[in-house]
Amino acid sequence: MVGIVVVSHSRALADAAVALASEMLSGRPVPIEVAAGLDDATFGTDAMAIVTAITAADAANGAGRAAGSDAANGAGVVVLMDLGSAVLSAELALELLDDEVRERVLLCPAPLVEGLVVAAVSAAGGASRAEVAAEASGALAGKLSQLGTPPGELPQPGELPQPGELPQPGELTQPGEVQACSAGGAPAGTGSVGGPVGTFTVVNAHGLHARPAAALAALVRGLESDSQARVELRNLTTGSGWVPAASLSKLGTLGALAGHQVEVRAEGVRAEAALDKVLALGARGFNELAAPPRSPAPPAGAAPAARPVGAPIGAAPGLGIGPARPLRTVPGAATEPIPATRPAGNPAVEWRRLTDAVDIARANIRRVRARAAAQVGASEAAIFDAHLAMLEDPELLGGARTRIDAGPAAQAAEPAWAAAITEAHDALAALPDEYLRARAADVRAVGDQVLRALAGGPAEVACPEGVLVAADLTPAEAAELDAGRVDAVVLAYGSPTAHATILLRALGIPTVVGAGSAVLRIADGTLVAVDGTRGEVIVDPDTDMQRELRERAEALVEGDREARALADKPAATLNGVPIAVAANIGSVADARAAAERGADLAGLVRTEFLFLDRDSAPDAAEQESTYRAIAAALGGRRITLRTLDVGGDKPLSYLPTPAEANPFLGLRGIRLALARPQLLAEQLLAVVRVAHDTPVDVMFPMVSALDELLTARRMLTEAVALAGRGDPPELRVGIMVEVPATALKAAVFAPHVDFFSIGTNDLTQYTLAAERGNDTVAAIGDPLDPGVLRLIDAVCRASEGGGPLVAVCGELAADERAAPVLLGLGVRELSVNPRAVPGVKQAVRGVDLAKATDLAAQALRAESATAVRALLTAFTP
């Protein structure tokens, strides 16, 4: 991939330009280096700094050249400069480079901002060095075309076309006629407007709602970034008008539901390619998990539908005391627009105020998205992509800009933005579909973030202080909570393995789930105590109880302090049996956090983070580099690399798979890897290379048949031979136990593995037929159900007498109260989120293994998860 160097007099300008360009890349990495300013605050350029930046960008592409690219056709570097002495400094830097490097560098005369955006997108798409420079040099063509202005002529105020404005039917022109075959839709033809036309059927259960619409708008914005293709859509089923595909708010007004036919048309030099990409995205459901439609929301004030719940479940440890705060006060609740209290100023100033506020809101949403992605996964964080797309929506921004630039009737930024938001909100709210109408609240919530920033306050809703009480929380709602303000969370329903609960646990917020509908009647401000360890909710405690609770809370704080102080020490039971406490990680940053928290090893590295949000799979060299970085962050501790676990509920855009009625039971995990053996072969080669230099476990997910394991092991042997260094000395092989049949057949697998790692989240939902993301049955899915424990016991029995190590890497491992029963069953490794490591280690140190073995035997005979939890509450380690 081509590297890019940005040379500017201003460091702030260069960083901002790089940030803008990065927005267009959708997570695809492009090596971009900056040589700007004499320091962070002083304008100027430095030739030696440019040499350093070019060298770094060129080095990032060394692996590609080593694989066989020559200097003329290899990746190389394109240098973009702002003006004046930046060009002179770049030319001097070119002279100072070694000859070999110099011949891989092109100085590009493109405009810095527009050129950088186009160059980055082109590089991410695999363009050559010459192509990247050529695309960047033509970056102004799109702007000139949009404004309809020959070079040298500038339009007068009021003459600019509004953002997102497209010609009406009959106005588009395309030389010649294009015939194409659309991917997954009706055959593409040539429409009356002269460009290619095609159709697709909406297969998403909720229609073209926020997430798929955001994916579509992002794709089209990337396609339109070089102004060589423009795309519009209309709903053929309802007979709607054409709307710009790059506008998220306009896409919402199509009212496109599951089964509706959507027509797509494109114009421009790359119209046919753009059409095919849009149709292909629609055919695969916009990369969204297929799921049954939700039931309509109950009318306001109606009681929630009855559903099975047991006793309250402690889902996140700790004790919180505070005033009850019902869900209606949490982030995301719609608020009235903030009115402007000042007259409109200069339009340029008002527009700058609005764009600055949008930037503040965008930064906050990205922060929340990053936290959600790290804790519960990229798919669950995708809702924030829709929020970000709203802030890029040309219709919303254009509507506000029109009002700001309206001459004598010009408005200040606040009412202009509020009016644009209200218009988009009302268009969605008027749709007949209940689910799409609900998306109007997303528009209002995002709009309100900008209004708050305009008013000088934080872009995010002020997080409530106290105990949050709700029927349930989505991952998005959980991600926005501030652990410094929320004392605890009480959910009437929910599950300890739901994604929102996992996030709350990672945030360290004491949580009780399955508390029953009665908690929804707790009055706002009522004092509530929540013990997330014991699973207790105490409403309006008297003075003596409050004193006892606060003493208990202080003891918990002191216990946490002691656990943190001993976090870097090994954990062993009171009987001296060593227990490894590992960390589940999904990034290099997670690995650093795990090391800081005292993790003994990485018990689960979710390698799919490398494969998501990009257009092609990472090669062995890129994977090897990242795995080495994780190992380095952990200081040489063993790392357990789980091979790619995608498919079904976690699709890859570049690896299309057929739609599945039940993706959790479909082509995923090892099944998908074996169906696409080149992907697995590349990954195993990277694993083997790293294993020669650091202790590595390789773990295969979703194994349910011995043949799957044996095939994967043969491919591992082939990878060892290809690496050419013999058998790695400390490479171990294991499988995830997530399927009940695998647990029951553990003795069959045992001779072929070094360890079993039990994924209790999937094992629980498969065993109890209760999908953890389905809020009508989630409360059934308790991992402490005796049926689940008996499967864990079966794995441990198959490993007795020197057999494979048994680990648990699901959320049950992080439940400190569950440690005695797991250790009593025979588990000898617990892998948890990094934050939980110190507490779990301390829980292990308090376990008498003999007593724990008796406890486990009682738990296996118990009649329900509630009975097991009662045993744990009464248990004395």
Q: 629-664, pLDDT tens digit by residue?
A: 999 999 999 999 999 988 655 566 677 666 666 667
Residue 868 forms part of a structural domain: yes
Q: What is the dihedral of CA 409, 413, 415, 421, to 10 degrees?
A: 120
826: left (phi over 0), alpha (psi -120 to 50) or beta: left
DSSP conformation class of 264: E
CATH number of the domain where residue 485 is located: 3.50.30.10
CATH number of the domain where residue 115 is located: 3.40.50.510
Residue 175 forms part of a structural domain: no
Backbone angles phi, psi at 647, to 5 degrees: 100, 155
In 521-612, which ranges are continuous DSSP H helix? 543-565, 588-596
Helix (H, G, I), strand (E, B) or coil at 574: coil
Pair 387, 512 in one domain: no
| 8 A C-beta contact, residue 700 and residue 707 | no
Cα separation, 54 vs 746, whole angstroms: 54
Residue 156 forms part of a structural domain: no
Residue 292 forms part of a structural domain: no
pLDDT at 29 over 50: yes
* Per-position DSSP letters for 66-84, written without gaps between them: HTT--TTTS--EEEEE-ST
Q: What percent of the chain has pLDDT over 70?
A: 79
Pair 635, 522 in one domain: no
pLDDT at 774 over 60: yes
pLDDT digits (tens, 9 = 90+) for 660-715: 666 678 788 899 889 889 999 999 999 999 999 999 999 999 999 999 999 999 99
Pair 532, 608 in one domain: no
Residue 179 forms part of a structural domain: no
Apex CA 144: angle with CA 139 and CA 147, to 5°? 135
Residue 344 forms part of a structural domain: no
Residue 342 forms part of a structural domain: no
CATH number of the domain where residue 210 is located: 3.30.1340.10
Pair 257, 125 in one domain: no
Pair 397, 483 in one domain: no
Q: What are the residues facing 189 on neighbouring strands?
A: 197
| 8 A C-beta contact, residue 704 and residue 741 | yes
Pair 555, 407 in one domain: no
Domain count, the chain: 5
Pair 624, 532 in one domain: no
pLDDT at 392 over 50: yes
For residue 488, give the H/E element and its range.
Answer: strand 486-491
Pair 839, 748 in one domain: yes
Buried b / exposed e along 823-832 (16+ C-beta atoms within 10 A):
bbbbbbbbbb
Pair 126, 201 in one domain: no
377: left (phi over 0), alpha (psi -120 to 50) or beta: left
Task: Assign 137 a pLDDT band (cuts: 50, 70, 90).
Answer: confident
Rg (CA), the chain: 29
3-state secondary structure 107-134: EECCCHHHHHHHHHHHHHCCCCHHHHHH
454 is written with which tokens?
Answer: 């305009």
Buried b / exposed e along 552-586 (16+ C-beta atoms within 10 A):
bbeebeeebeebbeebeeebebeeeeebbbbbbbb
Q: Which of 108-117, 519-528, 773-782, 834-843 has the lowest mean pLDDT?
A: 773-782
- Residues with catalytic function: 499, 809
Apex CA 827: angle with CA 552 and CA 507, to 5°? 45
The number of beta carbons lying within 10 Å of the beta carbon of residue 667 is 18
Task: Assign 248 a pLDDT band (cuts: 50, 70, 90).
Answer: low
Cα separation, 817 vs 840, whole angstroms: 9
Pair 836, 698 in one domain: yes
Q: Would you call 306 exposed, middle or buried from its count of C-beta atoms within 10 A (0-12, 13-18, 19+)?
A: exposed
The mean pLDDT value for 236-258 works out to 83
| 8 A C-beta contact, residue 492 and residue 517 | yes
Q: Write down how long the chain is.
A: 877
CATH number of the domain where residue 364 is located: 1.10.274.10
* Per-position DSSP letters for 356-398, written without gaps between them: HHHHHHHHHHHHHHHHHHHHH-HHHHTHHHHHHHHHT-HHHHH
Pair 702, 849 in one domain: yes
From residue 336, how far is each of 444, 445, 491, 755 by CA, in Å?
A: 9, 10, 27, 56
Which pLDDT value is given to residue 437?
61
Residue 165 forms part of a structural domain: no
pLDDT at 472 over 90: no
Q: Which of 35-49, 362-376, 694-708 has the lowest mean pLDDT?
A: 362-376
- Mean pLDDT, the chain, rounded, equals 81
Single-letter amino acid code for the residue at 312 = P
The domain in which residue 491 lies consists of 313-330+463-560
Pair 775, 662 in one domain: yes
The mean pLDDT value for 280-289 works out to 75
Buried b / exposed e along 467-483 (16+ C-beta atoms within 10 A):
bbbbebbbbbbbbbbee
Apex CA 823: angle with CA 819 and CA 824, to 5°? 115
